[in-house]
Amino acid sequence: MRRALLIGLAVVIVGMLGTGVTVQRTIDPPGEAGEEVALTIPPGSSTAKIAAILDEKEVVESARAFRIYTRLKGAGPFQAGDYTLRKRATFGEIVEALDQGPQIIQDRLTVPEGLTIGQIAERVGKLPGRSAEAFLEVAKSGEVRSSLQPDSVKTLEGLMFPDTYMLDRGDDEKAILQRMVTTFETVAAETGIDQAAEGGRVTPYEAVVIASLVEREARVAEDRGPIARVIYNRLERDMLLQIDATVLYALGEHKTRVLFSDLEVDSPYNTYKVKGLPPTPIAAPGRAALAAAADPPANDFLFYVVVESDGTHAFARTGAEHQANIRQAERNGVR
């Protein structure tokens, strides 16, 4: 069979390509196969179209020779999809790979806790075939909404779950956004957010806002719950929240320290000037922050400040206790 195939192919190749191309070299290129090449066979592609793609990607030296080979071999038809082949592979290896069908190529998207919607878009934009601009456009279009999102709120800020996602190449920006929003809804429900946290004193969406504040403020795991409780305690007493992370969000900057001049920024997110919660979340909270906002520990703390180099906070009930903690932070060189 192989002898007859070679003879038949030789006759056609010599007639179509000239005597300078040997049959053996065409079917079985000398040396090892070259580098891997990713290629896509579009739906409805004929064998001639596939051969042309292989030629263009330098997987084969001649599209016509490969087309003739598949016809004499009785190979195909081949499925559309994504494949990874090697340059200068043998015709037999190529046909075997094509017979196995397309590979499922996935992209990894890792979104850490505490990112804004713009920062998430930047990460999506680094994936093959996607763009940050398209992601933000669909996020603002209203095509995807969260069940936690009030009718008056247009942004999905804070409503996309931070996680690692394995995405198919066919997943466009809308599909990615929808998956992140759906995952957030699932996790939020598991933590109890959508049962109206704090016995109904806040709405589920407001609890998500609180979770985002906790995510940005807490630096060690043990502080999440107490920080959440401080926020609830200050809300109940109609006190300004005075949270640095909201000021940084208002400024649109990522600074390590808030200056006194920053506290004058005119924004509904400036919790040093505006009472109550900011109008939307300020970042994407993770599961632990959501759980802290849904069910914080009981205490009567009203203040907190970082006192250790690892980010640990000290909590206080009174202004005098808080000032003592600030002096401790100064002695520790963290303020």
What the chain holds in terms of domains, given with CATH numbers, is: 2-99 (3.30.1490.480), 106-191 (no CATH), 198-331 (no CATH)
Token readout for 221 is: 């795991």
Q: pLDDT tens digits, residue range 43-78?
A: 989 999 999 999 999 999 888 889 888 888 888 789
- Average per-residue pLDDT for the chain: 89
Q: What are the tens digits of pLDDT across the range 276-313?
A: 999 999 999 999 999 999 999 999 999 999 999 999 99
Query: And the tokens for 174?
Result: 């809308």
Give pLDDT, residue 16.
47
Here the tokens at position 117 are 């919607």
pLDDT in tens, 221-271: 999 999 999 999 999 999 999 999 999 999 987 777 788 898 999 999 999
112-148 pLDDT, tens digit each: 999 999 999 999 999 999 999 999 999 999 999 999 9
d(C-alpha 100, C-alpha 92), whole Å: 12
Tokens of 287: 């599961």
Q: Which residue has the higher pLDDT, 110 or 92?
A: 110
Could you tell me the pTM of the whole model?
A: 0.76
Rg of the chain (C-alpha set): 30
Choice among 13-22, 80-89, 115-124, 263-272 with the minimum mean pLDDT: 13-22
What single DSSP character describes residue 312?
-
Q: Which helix (H) or strand (E) holds 3?
A: helix 2-17
pLDDT band for position 20 (50/70/90)? very low
Tally the residues of the chain.
335
